[in-house]
Each structure stands twice: as C-alpha cells, then as structure tokens.
Structure 1
Amino acid sequence: MTPVIETRALSKRYGSHAALHDLDLVVDPGTVFGLVGPNGAGKTTTLRLLLDIIRPSAGTVRVLGSDPRTGGAALRRRIGFVPGELRLDGRTSGRALLAHLAEISGPVAPGTIEALAERLGLDLGRPVRTLSKGNKQKIGLVQAFMHRPPLLVLDEPTSGLDPLVQREFLTMVREARDAGQTVLLSSHVLSEIQQSADEVVVLAQGRIVARGSVESLRSASVRRLRAVIVDASADTLRAALEGVPAATDVAVTTSPSAGAVHVAATVRGEVDAVVRALMAGRLLDLTVEEPDLEESILDLYSRSETDR
C-alpha cells in the first residue's frame, strides 16, 4: 500500500532557527492523521512543506506519489486545503466565490456546494467581506471538501466555529475517511483529534516527541489509581509499591474503623505491575482514572522539555 504522504528527514531552517528537525511521517490511505502541538511546534511548517508553499532545507517528501515541487497544478487539484490563517475579502458573494474556486479545483458535483453550506449553516448569498471569521472559515471548509479530493490537509480547521458546527465538521471528516479519502488534521484543539484521528503525531519544538493511536498515547501517560485493600498492613503495601517504578506519589492510609488500607498513586504507563503489588492483600475496590488526550500530551511535552 503506497502512502498518501511520506517524508524522510524533512527539515526546515530559517537562518540559525530550525523550525523542523528530521521529520519522518507515513500517512496511509483512508485514515485520519492528527498532527498535534502548541503554537511554534512546527505543524504549519510541515503542512506548507507538503503543499510546496515553502521548500525544505533538507529531506524528501512525497504526496499522493509525487514530489510537491514538481507535481504542479495536477497534484494541487487532488488536495483540499484549509490554511491556518484564512483570509477572504471582496464584494462577491460566497456562492460566486465558491463557484469560481470550483472551476480551479476541478469537477464539483451539482448541489454539493449548497449541501455543504446547509450542513455548516453558511449563507451563500452574503458578500464575503461582510462575513464573520467563523463564516469565512465555513467557506474555507466548503472549498476544501466540495471536489472530494483524495487528500484533505486541514490546518486548525475549526477556528472561529461554534460547537455545533465543530460537531458537524467532525462528522464530515469521518464521512470522508469512510469514503476512502485521507485527512491530515493539524490542531491544538485536542478534543477534535481525540474524536476523529486514527493515528497521532505529537510535535514539540519541531521534533516528534510521540506517535501512535489515541489509545496508545493515553496508555503511555499518567493515570490516577485508587484502591481499597484488606488483609495487608499499610507498611506491607507501601513496601510492595516501592519496588514498582511505574508508581509515584504513593499515599497509603489506614481506616481503623473499616479495617482497610486506602492506596492512592500516580501511574505512568501500564498498571499491571501496580495491581500485582496491591495483591499483597485482598482487593476490595480499584479505580483507575483514564487520562484524556490533553493530559497525555501535556505530560509528553513536559517530558520532552526535561530531556533537553
């Protein structure tokens, strides 16, 4: 299976500043690929390199089987793109602008523009210059989706959208994936990555600090564990947990009235070794709080900063 996007040691420097370091990406067909990171992490730089808006300082890149530097208009027509800073103006209506863009991007099935506009709550009759930021963003989404390209490259696509429209956008992303399209979604809104992405790459300071599925990133991060145990002393449980590197911030307290020991701990990674240590007694209750993606990624950022 040929990747839709493949980069090898892709790097970009601006003078002495390295915006992107040796980026290796492989994005398979028919997937939603999330690119996550704070401002300045290298997300937009990566997307611009893929689209030949800027040129790399080193490394190679292939998009839909072609080099973006030589793919020209034929390659660009196969990509739907929403930039991170969408600027639209003019006296023309949204309908006229989208009709003009449809002539450039390629065939658009009759009624598609109107159907997408209705789903997003976009008034096509208003002049573009009178539209709010959110409504201009809707035009950007319509023009990206309307010709059903094999690849969608979306940079902070929900900027300015209200929650109901964001929800509809995520439905559109899932529909595109189900139709065999590939979606590269760059965002710092972690909830939309969490709800839609099949695979995630986490960028920090131009470098990949983690990659994998949403679930694998969660499992590699911190969890909160609480347990109630009988038939073991607090000292026994404390000693058992001291030998488990995954458990930190361990608090062991005794409840004299109930004759039970309460354990609370922070667990990094797999919880299996921690649970085995707790089996020094009889486990009455166990609660493990799963981290959301935001907590996981913040943890990854903090570790990447510590490692530098």
Structure 2
Amino acid sequence: MTNVIEMTNVTKRFGHFEALKSVSLTVKQGEVFGFIGPNGAGKSTTIKTLLGIIKANSGESSVFSKDSWKNTVEIHKNLAYVPGDVNLWPNLTGGEVIDLFMSLQGRPNPQKREELIRKFDLDPTKKCRTYSKGNRQKVALIAAFSSDADLFILDEPTSGLDPLMERIFQECVEEVKAQGKTVLLSSHILSEVERLCDRITIIREGKIIETGSLNEMRHLTRTLLKVETKTAVPELSKQPGVHEVTGTETAFSFQIDSERLGEMIAYLAPFLVVKLESTPPTLEDLFMRHYEDKDGKLEGDR
C-alpha cells in the first residue's frame, strides 16, 4: 500500500518558538487517519505544512510523492481541504461559493452537489454573510465531498455542526473511504475519531508521542471490569495492576491495566465468578491518559 502523505523529521519555528519538533508521520492510500491533540499541539501547523501554506525549517514533507512546498499547485489538484473556521465571500451565495470551489478542484460532480445540499439541509441561495458558523462549515464540506479528490484533509471539520449534521459528515467520510480515497482527519471529537479512523496519531507540544490503530494503542489504558462472585475476593486492591476498586467483596468493579487482564481473570476464577463484564478503554481514555499530569489534572487546568 502506497503512502499518500509522508513527513520525515519536520521542524517548524516561529521566531524562537518551535511549533513542530521533528514530526514524522505517514498516511497510507485508502485509510482514514486520525490526528488528535489539544489546541496549540501543532495539528494545524502540520496540516498547513502539508498543504504548502507554510514552509518547514527542516525535514521533508510530501503528498502524492511530491514535495509539499515545491509542487503545491499540482498537489492541490487532487485534494480537498476543509479548515475548522471557514471564511467565505460575504456577497456571494453559498451555492456560488460551492461552484467556485468545485471549479478550482477541476473534477466537479453536480449530481453529488445537489445530493449533499439536501443532506446537509443548506439553503444555497442565501448570501454567505447571513450564514452561521455551522452553515459556513456546510458550504466547505459540500464543496469538498462534491469533488473527485483523492485526498481529503479535514482540520476540525465539524466545528459548529449539530449532532445530526455530524452524522451526515461521518457518512460522507465512510463513503469516500469505500471508494478508496484517503482522509486525514484532525478532530477534538474523540468519538468521531474512534468511529472513523483506521490509525491515530497523538501530537503533544509539537511532538508525535504515539501512532497506531486503536487496538494497538489500548495497552496504554486500563480496562473496566464489573464482577460478581460466589465467594468473597479479599484484598483485591493489592493485586498488581488493579486500580479504583468499588463495591463489596462479592460484587465489585475495578480498573485493570490491559496487559494484566488475562492473569486477573485467572486470579478471579477460583472465587466462582457468576458475572463478568469487560469494557475496553475508549480513545478518550487513551487521550486523557496522555494529557494528565502526575496529580491527575489535565494540562491547561492547573
């Protein structure tokens, strides 16, 4: 499987501030790649480097095996980009802006345009100056998904959308993936990333700190177990890998480090287990684990 996006040791500085610190990532053809991190982590800077909007100080960045900075025009012929805060021409209608974006991409699909206008419940006859933030996002999403792009770069694309429209967006992503297209999705909505993405990268303070599928990254988190036994299980909290035990000695719940799950089930068996529910960690659990400090507070909340 070929790599549509490749970044190798990319560093970007703004004055003395180092926004990206030797960032390396690859996005394979046909996959939906999740890119997560808090505000200021470097997500948008990475995306702007890929788009050729800004130039890296060092390292290599390519899209479709072409240099992001030197071949920007050629690259943009085959990609669609949706930012998290869309600015539109105030005196044009939404429909006119969609048509303009589609013409720039070069492979418009008028039938798809009409279908998406209906799905996103957009009035394309209104001037853009009358649109809410959510409707401006709809214009950009309709233009992007009406194109025949090979790569979709989506930077917080559902910002301002209500839950119903988020669902429509997710269907659009699933549709282009089924067509073999590639998607780079930066999002704060962890459930969205968890549902859509094949692989995930977490960026923190300009550094890539973890990359992999959600299953590969579950070792970083704990699994929640709810258990009932016929006989009492004493001193469960003293077992290795066990956290936050609640309940009685025969009906209890606790968290277990995922790598110790098997040995914990074996430990519980002699106590005659009558009920056991296992809840695997979510992407949100994983995300929080990376961003909590030693006191359990999230960075930025200190």
- Same-fold call, TM cutoff 0.5: yes
How much has 1:73 moved relative to structure 2? 1.5
Which region of structure 1 is more displaced relative to structure 2, 111-120 or 143-152? Answer: 111-120
Distance 1:293 1:226 in 2: 20
1:292 corresponding residue in structure 2: 282
Distance 2:233 2:72 in 1: 71
Distance 1:295 1:233, change over 3 A: closer
Equivalent residues in 2 for 1:79-228, closer than 5 Å = 79-228=79-228
From 255, 260, 263, the equivalent of 1:266 is 255
Deviation sequence 1:53-88 (CA, Å, 0-9, x none): 111122111111110111132211111001122111
How much has 1:6 moved relative to structure 2? 0.9
Equivalent residues in 2 for 1:44-63, closer than 5 Å = 44-63=44-63
Distance 1:99 1:234 in 2: 68
Give the letter aligned to residue 129 of structure 2. Answer: R
Distance 1:104 1:275, change over 3 A: same
Structure 2: unaligned runs, 5 residues or longer:
none
Distance 1:252 1:103, change over 3 A: closer
Distance 2:255 2:175 in 1: 38
Segments ≥4 residues shifted beyond 6 Å: 303-306
Distance 1:137 1:233 in 2: 54
Give 1 or 2 for the bigger CA radius of gyration.
Answer: 1
Structure 1: unaligned runs, 5 residues or longer:
255-260
Distance 1:103 1:185, change over 3 A: same
Distance 1:305 1:52, change over 3 A: farther
Secondary structure of 2:45's aligned partner: helix
Distance 1:151 1:304 in 2: 39
Provide the alpha-carbon RMSD of the alignment. Answer: 2.3
Deviation sequence 1:158-198 (CA, Å, 0-9, x none): 01111111101100000000001100000011121112111
1:258 corresponding residue in structure 2: none
TM-score, length-scaled by structure 1: 0.88
TM-score, length-scaled by structure 2: 0.90
How much has 1:298 moved relative to structure 2? 0.7
Which region of structure 1 is more displaced relative to structure 2, 175-184 or 271-280? Answer: 271-280
What is the number of residues matched between the two proteins?
296
Secondary structure of 1:291's aligned partner: coil
Distance 1:149 1:280, change over 3 A: same
1:25 corresponding residue in structure 2: 25
Deviation sequence 1:8-44 (CA, Å, 0-9, x none): 1122222222212222211111111010111111111
